[in-house]
Chains A and B, each alone.
Chain A
Amino acid sequence: MNKERREFIRKTGLGVLAGICASSAFMPAFSLEETVLPAWDEKPVPGKIRWGMLIDTRKCLNECSECVAKCHFVHNVPDFGNRKDEVKWIWKSSYEHVFPTSTQQFRTSDVLQRSFLALCNHCAEAPCTRACPTEATFRRWDGIVSMDYHRCIGCRFCMAACPYGSRSFNWRDPREGIKLASVDYPTREQGVVEKCNFCSDRLVRGLIPACAESCPQKALTFGDLNDPKSDIRVLLESNNTMQRKPELGTKPSVFYII
């Protein structure tokens, strides 16, 4: 009796083992433990995404400034009508102003007559974030160089550090210079620096940046530089592109097709 019982247990065990072996042979994925991703990522993973923009200057029309108007309306950027108090997030400029250190001589007259869009480059090695003594400006988890206006003390070190002139100081109360206010975004106050935020306010709502959305020529492509299949990476793959002042090693996230 005892012996038979032992035999039975031994054989049953063998059977169980055989069952596991068979199932793992038929379903190869089963031999690996499965990890279930959390349904909700409360905190984003730093460095997973790097937002970038590609500007096709061949499509950009000289007389159009739709993107500038849309951006400045959406973000309540003031306009005082003089250069001294000027605040700008995105603007148009000539070739020699946008690429002043470009060593290439004798560019075609077509290129020299074009207007080029300039905005914050959201550099991977942003000099402004190093200059800021209060960490009011910082590089976010998704590559956007962001500003926390609450912390800005108005020292303007970041303006001196930025090689692209992308930062503006509020010499006056900006609310005086806003003709048509947008209720979706706060204004700034007198005594703080401001700049393009790559529409981080629109990104959380699942929208692309206002400039890229408003462009009638679709000259602006916005996307994730870390994703090899994104539109922007596909375009970067198939075109010759340029960055502003690449020799400074700031690694801008804004690219230009000339």
Chain B
Amino acid sequence: MTTALTTSPAAAGAGRPDGDTAVRISHVHKTFGRPGTAAPVLEDINLTVAPGEFVTLLGASGCGKSTLLNLVAGLDRPTSGTIEVPGGRPALMFQDHALFPWLTAGRNIELALRLAGVPKEERRPEAERLLELVRLGGSYKKRVHELSGGMRQRVALARSLAQGSQVLLMDEPFAALDAITRDVLHDEITRIWAEKQLAVLFVTHNVREAVRLAQRVVLLSSRPGRVAKEWRIDLPQPRRIESAGVADLSIEITEELRGEIRRHVQH
């Protein structure tokens, strides 16, 4: 069941050249193992993300949300159905920062720029700019192990942005951080999303985080993963995770999520 959606002007990112779709997922099924024998992980997923739109994918474990993100990232193929990303290969951030420990923070970003085809002489200044953007201006020469968990995720964010994609996929990127750091990073991603007008598809199992960040929350059911319900969130940004607006909606969504989980009780 899906609530009807009206297009909001803020979400559409007025005047973007890439048309009206950043990601279009149509009738996607995914089954691991031989078809027919294994239970499907994803079933008939339909989801469109507009340019500049922030969407969180929410679900309990086993809902296939990370699988879906891998499909969009092109790391895996759907069993059937299509995924279109008109702007080309999207950027992907993991729960693990996945920074390369043999490179400095700045060099990690430069490698992404290089692989994206940025000419040599532009890489260093661009890497410095991206580090400034995540407020790590002085950290170009820092090694990965010299950075705190939150700083690593910010460098990872800068590296993702270095790909130059207008679509950013995030797979529970803040799940391993402490609450204070996560709060700060929520502010950070909200600021950068608005500044860069990115389309973000953000996977989480944390309801409040989903409501704190998103313009639209998509709830997936588990085994098989299906779109169960969607909410559009009009609260102004930046939001506080403790605010009443976020809390009220979180309670409503949590109830739905619990209902989805209860369906799996063995009788």
Answer yes or no: are A and B bound together in one complex.
no
Q: Using a CB–CB distance below 8 Å, which chain B residues touch chain A?
A: none
